[in-house]
């Protein structure tokens, strides 16, 4: 892990990471949806790993093994992604316990099929379908969030390496392709949950439409990003394999 970060000043990396791991779970108490704060964590990991990976050329000129450097980057990604995902999961699970409607603002939160009671400010009780949690759903929430963050670390590493080898065109193409894949998938899945009454002209969407569309779109975008990141990493010039 030290090899990946040593020339990038680990103290700076650790400071920004510490601020992120505090903001991601606690920011949900302040403003915005859980989805926004979870994505913020991913964006910060992309930025950190891009900056660290941009130092590869210096290592390469010193004769550093690329495989050893990538193993160090992978170790750093695990140490960064899993604790951050754990903090986000704990916060999301807590907010879901407070209000079962929270899941509609955080597609990374996994719930089971059990209905949950909810009492509003007017002391009226409602049943919210498929809003329960258990150890399995918490584990799945942790897994999906950690996977998102690992992809973010992978993408950041690829972006930093692309900068060192001047593969800007491939980077831009990857970003555009991921954006198109996200938008197309979101629209396609959202339409699948949209119902039309051709006699009355009424249109309505099920409550789970936005969540399902977000999950599907994120998966497709992550796959596209992973593909382009793999291409950029494998094509990185190096003196020592």
Distance between CA atoms of residues 153 and 45, nearest Å: 6
Task: Report pLDDT for 2.
Answer: 67
Task: Report pLDDT for 138.
Answer: 92
pTM: 0.84
Task: Report pLDDT for 203.
Answer: 56
Task: Report pLDDT for 199.
Answer: 61
Distance between CA atoms of residues 18 and 74, nearest Å: 19
Distance between CA atoms of residues 48 and 84, nearest Å: 14
Domain ranges of the chain: 2-234
Which stretch of DSSP H or E encloses residue 154?
helix 135-164
* Dihedral pair phi/psi, residue 132, rounded to 5°: -80, 165
Burial class (CB in 10 A: 0-12, 13-18, 19+), 115: middle
Q: Residue 3 to residues 31, 46, 55, 224: CA-CA distances in angstroms?
A: 38, 18, 11, 28
Distance between CA atoms of residues 119 and 109, nearest Å: 21
Which stretch of DSSP H or E encloses residue 145?
helix 135-164
Burial class (CB in 10 A: 0-12, 13-18, 19+), 19: exposed
- Per-residue pLDDT of the chain (241 residues), as tens digits, is 567 777 667 788 889 999 999 999 999 888 777 788 999 999 999 999 998 888 888 888 888 888 889 999 999 999 999 999 999 999 999 999 888 888 888 888 888 878 787 776 666 777 777 778 889 989 989 999 999 999 999 999 999 888 877 777 777 888 888 889 888 888 888 777 776 665 665 555 566 676 778 778 888 888 898 888 888 888 887 767 6
């Amino acid at each position: 892990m030290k090899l990946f970060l040593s020339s990038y000043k680990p103290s700076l990396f650790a400071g920004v990471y510490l601020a992120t791991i505090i903001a991601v779970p606690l920011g949900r108490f302040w403003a915005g949806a859980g989805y926004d704060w979870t994505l913020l964590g991913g964006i910060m990991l992309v930025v950190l790993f891009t900056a660290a990976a941009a130092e590869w050329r210096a290592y390469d000129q010193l004769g550093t093994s690329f495989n050893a450097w990538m193993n160090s980057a992978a170790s750093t990604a695990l140490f960064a992604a899993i604790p951050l995902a754990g903090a986000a999961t704990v916060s999301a699970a807590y907010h879901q316990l407070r209000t079962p409607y929270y899941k509609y603002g955080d597609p990374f939160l996994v719930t089971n099929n059990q209905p949950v009671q909810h009492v509003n400010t007017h002391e009226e009780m409602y049943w919210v379908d498929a809003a329960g949690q258990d150890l399995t759903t918490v584990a799945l929430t942790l897994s999906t969030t950690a996977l998102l963050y690992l992809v973010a670390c992978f993408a950041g590493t690829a972006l930093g390496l692309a900068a060192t080898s001047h593969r800007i065109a491939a980077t831009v193409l990857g970003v555009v392709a991921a954006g198109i894949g996200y938008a197309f998938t979101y629209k396609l899945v959202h339409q699948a949950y949209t119902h039309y009454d051709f006699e009355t002209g009424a249109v309505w969407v099920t409550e789970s439409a936005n969540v399902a569309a977000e999950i599907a779109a994120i998966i497709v975008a992550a796959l596209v990003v992973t593909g382009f990141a793999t291409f950029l990493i494998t094509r990185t010039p190096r003196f020592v394999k």
